[in-house]
Structure formats: C-alpha cells, structure tokens
Amino acid sequence: MSVELAQGGTNSQWEVYTEAETENDLTFTQDITEGAEMPLKTYNPGESVTLVFDGETSGFETAEELEAFLKEELGSSVTVDIEVGELDNGEMSFEVNLEDSERTIETYNGGLLFKNGASQVESALAYPAVEEVENTENTENTENTENTENTENTDVPAYMQEWVDLKEKAKAELEKDPDSLYWQSMLSHVETTLDHMQSNLGVTPETDTDDVVSNDPDETIQQDPVSENDPSISTDFSGKVYEPGSQETIDLFYNAALEMGMSEDEAKEWANSPALHEILERESNGIVGVLNYSYGDAGGFNSTPEARAKHLEDLRNGVATTWSSASGLGQLKLENVDLYYPSGRDGIGDPLEEAVGMLGYIKASYGTPESALSNHFKTGTSQALARGWDGY
C-alpha cells in the first residue's frame, strides 16, 4: 500500500488529501479521513508513535538517511529509533519509533501521517532528496528565464510576482503528473491567495493573473497608512478577519511594523512579504482573537462569539482551559504574548496588538518572515503543502 498525503488550509480546518493503492493484504485498520477538522488521535509528549516506511517507495536507502531527514523536519525534541526490516514482497522497510519530548503529535499534523495499526505508511515528506535536486536543476534555468520574461512583460505588482511564478510552476508540474495530489493542493492554495490579491487590485477572481495591470508595479501600499490610533484598528476586536494577501492586511502589518520601530521601507517590505501572509494563513487564517484549535467546539473556531469572549478573558487572566494557550493572528502562547504584545495580555483580541506581537516574535526568533517560513517548510514555500506545517 502506498499513500500520498498533502495538507492545505489552516489550523481551523485541515484538508487531508490521500491516494492509496492496495497491492497486497496490507491494509489500514482505520479509514483515512478526508477534510478532518480535529485530530484522529493525539499523542502526548513522551508517547511513542510507530511509522513504517517502504524504502523503495519513500526513496530512503538507509536508516541513517531517514533518521537525519526526520530529525531535520521535526526538530531537536524528537527521539528516533529505526529498525531495518523486510516486507513480505522482499522490499526493504524501516520501522520508526518516534517520540517527541515536548510537543503533542497528531495523526495528520506536520506533514506526517501518524496512525496506529497502519501496516505501512508513506508520508509526503518522504520525497527522495535526489528527485528534489534533479527537479530543481531541470527547471531552475527555464523558470528563471520565464520568470524574468513575466516580470518584464507584465505589470504585476512585485509582491504578487512570487505567487504568479509558483502558480505557473504548479501548472507545469501537473502537466507532467496530472494525478499529483501535492501539486493539485499547491495550485488550489496559490490560486486562492491570488484571488485575494486580485480582488484588492480591482480585478475579478475569474481574470487571469497575467492580465493584471497596475499603473505602478512597485506600489505596494495603495492607501495612506492607517494610524495605529484609528478606531477601525485599535477598537475592532475579536472575530474580525484580515484575509491573507488583502490590502487591509497589508495596511495592518505595515502599521504594526511602524509600531515596532521599523523604518517605512522595512515596514513596507514586511507588510508585503508573501511569507508573512503565508504564516498568517497557516496560523489563524487572519481571524483576530481566534483560539487555538485545541479548544475545538468547546469554545474555538466553531463557537459562539460569547463563548470565544469568555475564553479570551480567561487567557487575559492567565488561564488556559486546554493544553495550549495560543491565540490570535500569530497564535502566540501566553509567555510570548507577555513579551511581544505592547499591552501584554490586555492586548489579546486587538488586531494591531496581535499583529505587533506576531511580527515581534518572528523578528526576534527568525529575523525575517522568509526565515520563519523556511524553518518549518525545510525546502521552502514551494514544498509547503506537501511538507506540512508544524508551527513557527
């Protein structure tokens, strides 16, 4: 059995795409759930998860290679113990006992499929490194030429061009492999992001991005920056949505960066960073004051405004009623809220404070949004959906 897994969406609703082909008697003991909103099973820190990789299908030739890959992807808090074996059909297999001393492991989080009772598991993380290098080498020169031509011959704003290029790459990959769930998911994600950007340029979503025209390609802040004292920002509390890639969100990030003391040029660069908007989408989908998904129906993404308000007030008082105290645009935990929100916990639910906290955490921890993104998408944005998102 082989499984190709990709993930899209945000913490609020995971979309799990799978493709399975049964070649022998090996079967899963449970069906793989599509569109799951909550984890199928949760493993607490210190609990062991067992994975079995088919060496030929996954592309790993040695246990050392697989161990290095998993540790790089999952971080220093994991312990990996691998036993090399052989499947009934004679193929090499790697049985991995994986334990995380700090984080809770979910059955479909982080780009890995953790499911007890699975006879064989192949993750979308397990693309062979050789294939990735070859694909990069084969397409890099051509893409660079095409991207240069696209930039020269169109008036697409600079902040949108990276997404346009990624869309073209996804379409090209799907021409070569129409059944690739990885590139299907990637294309869907990129097109959604471009739709948001197009709408804010006055272009309908049906219009091809290549036809977008702007009088000034370098114009990234299209409105006068909104003052941090403007009531539309400072008093508009939880439930408000700042859509990733929208002009409103660009303005919010711009003002947050200025609040942190960045220069106008640096603030403009951060506000228009595709990586920053990608992180926003992954963490909160732009919902102000949103609670960590661990709250679930008990008071999180699907709760009433009254229920959310109660839990936000609990957080302001230092009380987390689930295992995670994360909330807001950047999903900062209470200890980081205290460090990076201008008003500390009193700022929970305030769009500007949450944006300042998110940017402050990224700058202190990673330096740039691009570094924060690549730290958890090890091969960069273009591999994001297949690699999964394990927080930043």
pLDDT at 305: 60
Instruction: Name which of 123, 149, 127, 256 is nearest 210 in CA terms.
Output: 149
Residue pair 244/283 in contact by the 8 Å Cβ criterion: no
Residue pair 358/332 in contact by the 8 Å Cβ criterion: yes
The pLDDT tens digits for 15-44 are 333 333 333 222 222 233 233 223 445 556
Domain spans of the chain, in order of start? 2-126, 130-211, 231-387
> What is the DSSP secondary structure assignment for residue 302, as one 8-state letter?
T
pLDDT at 270: 95
Could you give the CA distance from residue 103 to residue 47 in angstroms, rounded to a whole number?
10
CA dist list (Å): 180 to 23, 87, 185, 187? 19, 26, 9, 11
pLDDT at 259: 92
List the chain residues with pLDDT less than 70: 1-45, 49-60, 72-75, 87-89, 102-163, 180-239, 292-309, 311, 320-324, 375-392
Cα angle 106-107-109, degrees, rounded to a multiple of 5: 60
pTM over 0.85, yes/no: no
The residue written with tokens 């008990």 in the block is 298
Residue pair 292/331 in contact by the 8 Å Cβ criterion: yes
